[in-house]
Amino acid sequence: MASYKLLLLILVFAGAFIQYINGKLSPKYYSSTCPNAFSIVQGEVIAAIKNETRIGASLLRLHFHDCFVNGCDASILLDDTPGFIGEKTAVPNNNSVRGFEVVDQIKAKLEKACPGVVSCADILALAARDSVVHLGGPSWNVGLGRRDSTSASRSAANTSIPPPTSNISSLLSSFAAQGLSLRDLVALAGSHTIGLARCTSFRARIYNDTTIDAVFAKSLQSNCPRTGNDNNLASLDLQTPTYFDNLYYKNLLKEKGLLHSDQELFNGTSADALVKIYASNTFKFFEDFAKSMVKMGKIKPLTGSQGEIRINCRKVNWK
Ligand code: HEM
Ligand SMILES: *[C@@H]1O[C@H](CO)[C@@H](O)[C@H](O)[C@H]1NC(C)=O
Ligand SMILES: *[C@@H]1O[C@H](CO)[C@@H](O)[C@H](O)[C@H]1NC(C)=O
Ligand SMILES: *[C@@H]1O[C@H](CO)[C@@H](O)[C@H](O)[C@H]1NC(C)=O
Ligand SMILES: *[C@@H]1O[C@H](CO)[C@@H](O)[C@H](O)[C@H]1NC(C)=O
Ligand SMILES: *[C@@H]1O[C@H](CO)[C@@H](O)[C@H](O)[C@H]1NC(C)=O
Ligand SMILES: *[C@@H]1O[C@H](CO)[C@@H](O)[C@H](O)[C@H]1NC(C)=O
């Protein structure tokens, strides 16, 4: 019995140590230092979505593009300076990512309420969750305690974020590189139930792919000609683009995914089974989506004394 207790004790301490070296995130991280953080972020997100519904999708995507580039460290928020090129003009981001003004607005409110406490990386994680919830999707507890990077990497942004031309094997390896599985890939791609894409992101698909519904392809071509109008927009979910539901998967079953990469998830591979499950079971989609968002939010966070808490999300403190 005594040796059993000793073993238990050792296990508990080992667990605590592993949490410490992993810099584990906690939903309660700001409960004494900034108890209003949740309501401030949520209030600003709801106001921003009331002003423009699409911004919820844009905020969700910002967290993804942050986490996939050297971890969830707000590197994507850094502006270029004369001596420094950030991630905003990397290929997947240029003329595409949006929502920076909303993050600034949230940060300004947080700095008034609790100066120097809440990181920009945590703002992105909370704003993504609040956006999904407000648009009708699932909720989850956001682990907090991320700190902000003092650098960014345009080349890593070029290579780590998968392009819409990706095939299933490229998608899988790009997610695996972040510690994310096939299930995470298919669940997180369900984000494309909201938001818009530019013509340049789906042109090759609507003119050249064989795995696309012909009527659907035709309907997109008038607004996305073979050349020009690169920035014309179409909904990622043709049915309910401002509502977080499982219709994205139902579209894939009918070869009506907007991006080539979307349709790759239902094209005769092991991903098909998951698409079918999520298309028929919103609850299962929501459950897996929430789990995978938590997992994505844990990609290589800076914790403890690493990085800093930026005062202005667009620049490092000492510049
Ligand atoms: C599986 C690989 C993925 C690829 C290849 C991909 C690619 C893209 C592309 C090309 C766009 C349109 C960008 C434009 O034309 O300006 C887009 C939009 C979007 N993506 Fe993804 N994405 C992927 C995964 C994800 C994930 C994991 C999330 C979130 C967790 C996400 C959230 C979004 C959202 C919400 C939008 C709409 C943004 C807006 O309307 O502002 N995507 N994605
Ligand atoms: C409201 O949305 C528009 C885009 O539709 C944007 O230009 C504007 O900055 C937003 N205003 C606020 C206060 O967020
Ligand atoms: C980003 O977009 C701008 C405006 O369209 C363009 O001038 C610039 O060349 C693009 N940058 C990169 C690196 O593609
Ligand atoms: C990212 O890709 C763009 C377009 O190919 C290129 O102009 C730029 O030099 C790349 N940046 C880095 C740092 O790799
Ligand atoms: C998938 O895309 C990658 C990168 O473009 C390419 O090297 C590979 O051959 C493709 N695989 C298949 C099965 O088409
Ligand atoms: C998708 O399916 C089509 C038709 O079966 C096939 O030609 C194509 O190679 C598949 N795409 C990939 C990358 O597996
Ligand atoms: C479609 O494929 C053809 C032949 O590979 C290519 O020349 C053309 O540029 C492609 N069209 C689009 C819109 O990508």
- Fold (CATH) for 26-162: Peroxidase; domain 1 (1.10.520)
Within 13 Å, how many C-alpha atoms sit on residue 120's CB side? Answer: 32
Right CATH for 168-295 from 3.40.50.11540, 3.30.565.10, 3.40.640.10, 1.10.420.10:
1.10.420.10
Average pLDDT of span 12-33: 69
Over residues 63-93, the pLDDT tens digits come to: 999 999 999 999 999 999 988 899 999 999 9
Give residues (CB < 6 A) around ligand 7. 203-204, 207-208, 226
Average pLDDT of span 19-41: 87
* β-strand partners of 167: none
Indicate whether 155 pLDDT > 70.
yes
Over residues 277-317, the pLDDT tens digits come to: 999 999 999 999 999 999 999 999 999 999 999 999 999 99
Helix, strand, coil abundance in the chain, percent, nearest 5: 50, 5, 45
DSSP 302: B
Whole-angstrom Cα distance, residue 43 to residue 77?
A: 21
Indicate whether 193 pLDDT > 80.
yes
pLDDT-derived band at 318 (thresholds 50, 70, 90) equals: confident
Q: Is the CB of 199 under 6 A from ligand 1?
A: no
Indicate whether 6 pLDDT > 80.
no
Average pLDDT of span 237-255: 98
Q: Rounded to the nearest 10 degrees, how much is the dihedral formed by the CA atoms of 48, 50, 53, 59?
A: 20
Average pLDDT of span 138-167: 98
Is 65 part of the annotated catalytic residue set?
yes
Closest protein CA for atom 4 of ligand 4: 91
- Token readout for 155 is 């080349």
Range(s) within the chain of domains with CATH label 1.10.420.10 = 168-295
Range(s) within the chain of domains with CATH label 1.10.520.10 = 26-162
Higher pLDDT, 16 or 197: 197
Q: Is the CB of 198 under 6 A from ligand 1?
A: yes
Instruction: Report the Cα–Cα distance between both ends of the chain, in Å, rounded.
Output: 59
Whole-angstrom Cα distance, residue 55 to residue 131?
A: 8
Whole-angstrom Cα distance, residue 224 to residue 168?
A: 25
- Token readout for 252 is 């894939």
Whole-angstrom Cα distance, residue 309 to residue 120?
A: 7
Q: Is the CB of 102 under 6 A from ligand 1?
A: no
Q: Quick one: pLDDT at residue 196? A: 98
